[in-house]
Amino acid sequence: MLLSDGRPYDMAYGDMRYALEDTKMALAEARRQGVSAFCITVDPKGQDYLEDLFGTNRYTVIQNVGHLPTKLPRIYRNLTV
């Protein structure tokens, strides 16, 4: 489970597209190794790019990090059932 404040980016990347593609490749390599990733973010624009990175139903956007304690049990339950 990955908790995120927004788009993958590091100043060293320079171009944000590279950061997104690098993250996408890392997630694909993890899947090939049998590691399944799920992202929780507070980025209101997460819908714009997370499906491409994580896949359908492999991420959620919450409005406020303060909501995490009430949402996390349901998210966990949905992932494990």
State residue 60 phi and psi, 5-degree precision.
-145, 150
Element (H or E) spanning 34, and its range?
none
Domain boundaries, the chain: 2-80
**The pTM of the whole model exceeds 0.85:** no
pLDDT digit string, tens, across residues 10-63: 666 677 788 888 899 999 999 999 999 999 999 999 999 999 999 999 999 999
10 Å Cβ neighbour count for 50?
19
- Distance in angstroms (rounded) separating the CA atoms of residues 77 and 41: 18
- Distance in angstroms (rounded) separating the CA atoms of residues 60 and 3: 10
